Amino acid sequence: MAGIDHKRLEEPDIGYIAQLLRAHPEDEAESLFRCSDRVRKCSVGDSVHVRGIIEFSNYCSRNCLYCGLRRDNGRLKRYRMTPDEIIAVSKTAIQNGYRTIVLQSGEDPYYSASDIARIVDRIKDLGDVAVTLSVGERSHSEYATMKAAGADRFLLKHETADPDLYRKLHPGKSLDERIECLKSLKDLGFQIGSGFIIGLPSQTVSTIARDIALLKELDVDMAGIGPFIPHPDTPLASHPAGDVRLTLKALAVTRLVLPHAHLPATTALSTLHRDGRRLALSSGANVIMPNITPARYRELYEIYPDSASLSDPEHGGIREIAEMLESMGRRLSKTRGDSFRRRRQSEHSRAQGMPGMRGGLRR
């Protein structure tokens, strides 16, 4: 690979992205990783943001073919955490140094938008902390209720940019609906995160190139890119796991296409490779999302088996992470790690004396 043509990545040129993803010989891929590491350093710096993730319910009304939480998996014992339990975990995490709490669940209608809003509001009262939601597809007005309570960010991966594959993997659902949700969230002022899975059936390098182009088109603030891991109680039980190296290449190219995005070292990658976190951090990633769910629930949140997050310490392990980062010449961020672009916008609004969105929520 004789140098990278950054102009072609700005458009972005899907054929060119696919060509980079095909980088095959060792030295070609290594030069891609070095380049994305440099771009990461120049655009988002050496700080790594940690976000504590609480998996508060494993009930799901959807039936995604790849996921262990799917509705039709009758072998899974289901649980829901109470608001008080969620607040207690958040409080400990904040005391331990976390500045972002991520609330994730299956698509569980048991929690109304107002229920989620009340939980967000209580977490925001615990300190200067950002709240990210990852609770699936809801209506514009439900998202508005969550935003008004102070939720800052929303993660909703598009999963695959191929509409036919999307339909096959998500019975009764469409990629367009997913994209509409992301647009709604953006309109409401959320920092948005999308992302996709590497190694889905019939996916090609061109599909992945379209995934990356879609991230650019959606102008995402964050993107999660992880390999598929088969779960024995799903229709994709015998489909092979995604390729670690291709995942790293997709991460690296995404860093080149979206220099200022927040890109996590995903848990799925660490599950497939012992050194996944370090490899991702050296290939463009700048975020880590440790699992802070109480251990008794964590093992039931089985999206895929043997998740690396099962061994994340319950107290959040901030000190160990700081040591690991130091050994890599990186450092733990002390900020909330808001979107680089949005941060500039909100500083501007403050300077103009504009009021924040939060307020008016009944307890």
Which residues of the shown chain bind ligand SF4 in the complex (CB under 6 A)? 60, 62, 64, 67, 69-70, 106-107, 136, 303
Nearer to ligand SF4, 23 or 146 (CB): 146
Nearer to ligand SF4, 139 or 349 (CB): 139
Which parts of this chain interact with ligand SAH (CB under 6 A)? 66-67, 104, 106-107, 134, 136, 156-157, 159, 197, 226, 228-229, 231, 268, 303-304
Please say whether the beta carbons of 330 and 48 come within 8 A: yes
Peptide bond into 12 cis (omega under 30): yes
Give least dist CB 177 to ligand SAH, A. Answer: 12
State the Cα–Cα distance between residues 340 and 357, nearest whole angstrom. 19
At 138, give phi and psi (nearest 5°). Answer: -140, 175
Give least dist CB 39 to ligand SAH, A. Answer: 25
State the Cα–Cα distance between residues 23 and 199, nearest whole angstrom. 17
Nearer to ligand SAH, 23 or 303 (CB): 303
- CA 63, distance to chain mean position in Å, is 20
Nearer to ligand SAH, 122 or 157 (CB): 157
108: partner contacted, choices ligand SF4, ligand SAH, none (Cβ within 5-8 A by kind): none
Nearest Cα to 331, choosing from 50, 43, 36?
A: 50
Name beta bridge partners: 195: 224
Give least dist CB 357 to ligand SAH, A. Answer: 23
Please say whether the beta carbons of 234 and 351 come within 8 A: no
Nearer to ligand SAH, 9 or 212 (CB): 212
At 134, give phi and psi (nearest 5°). Answer: -145, 75
Give least dist CB 74 to ligand SF4, A. Answer: 14
3-state secondary structure at position 53: strand
Matching residue, tokens 């879609």: 214
70: partner contacted, choices ligand SAH, ligand SF4, none (Cβ within 5-8 A by kind): ligand SF4
Give least dist CB 108 to ligand SF4, A. Answer: 9
